[in-house]
Amino acid sequence: MSGDPRKRPVPPSPDRDERLLLASTLLRRAAAAPLGDPIGFAALPALTRYALRTQGLGAPAPANSVAECLLLAHAYAALGIEAQIRVAELTVTDNKTGAQSVHGIPRPHWEDGRFFGHTILWLPRYRHLIDPDAERYHEIAAWKAGPVVAAAGPADPERSDDGQIPITVTRGHLNLSYSVGPREATAEVLANPVVHTARDTAWNEGANLASEVIWLLASERSDGDTGMIPYPRAAALIDAARGLDRRGAVGENVYFARRGALPGTGPFRIHQIPLPDGTPEAATPVG
């Protein structure tokens, strides 16, 4: 090969069929998660998003972590899972060299439409942290391990969850130490007009992502498996999806239709799927 990178042959970009195949492989791996373990299911929306995004399918990579968290928060909400967007400071320590880098700043803010800081999702029911945008930082991206998903463990009775929640995750020889900020600090970030403008788009993209999750599990896992999911609305959606037909290709808007419905019967979105009486309502994204 030429030593001049400008003269090297450019490999062809994979076409849509190839990208769909690669995404399908990643999605099947994600769908093998132990669904009875709360963190196994909590990881699935973030892993599904990662599988699609890395293959150029679905919503494109956002400009900042706020937009990515907003999309995922709406996906979790559609599945009946409360997800709070929270500001966070992330310290990455290389255990081989001792080098440290800090991402996120003490007072995150917007400036000329750009966000300075870092955000994650906090799932309060089981105290899970989801960082869908960790690979924005090159030292983490080098591991190609996808989103960070961590269980914080039991709450400290001396500390409110609205305080600074410390969580450390190991990725290879890196320690990723999170300090999750209080909701008041996040409220200032989310009050920006940029976020308000993005909410409708995030709702649509989040609905598509949640639809991919329920369709994937309805196709790949048994009733017994999905019945173990600790979120009743998500389990009910998956059960209902087994009796529906899908409309829309992977990475596009997802609609459903009743199997055997008469021609002309309109398709519907995930929030319109008929569910048994007593099924919990969709959650409201917090933030």
Burial of 169: CB neighbours in 10 Å, binned 0-12, 13-18, 19+: middle
Quote the pTM value.
0.90
Per-residue pLDDT reduced to its tens digit, 58-96? 999 888 999 999 999 999 999 999 999 999 999 999 999
Per-residue pLDDT reduced to its tens digit, 118-151? 999 999 999 999 999 999 999 999 998 899 999 9
Residues in the chain, pLDDT under 70: 1-14, 263-264, 286-287
Cα 141 from Cα 137, distance rounded (Å): 6
Q: What is the DSSP letter of 132?
A: T
Cα 63 from Cα 85, distance rounded (Å): 16
pLDDT at 62: 87
pLDDT at 162: 76
pLDDT at 287: 55
Q: Which residues of 64-73 are buried (b: 16+ CB within 10 A; e: fewer)?
A: bbbbbbbbbb
* Count of beta carbons in the 10 Å neighbourhood of residue 118: 26
Q: What is the CA radius of gyration of the chain?
A: 20
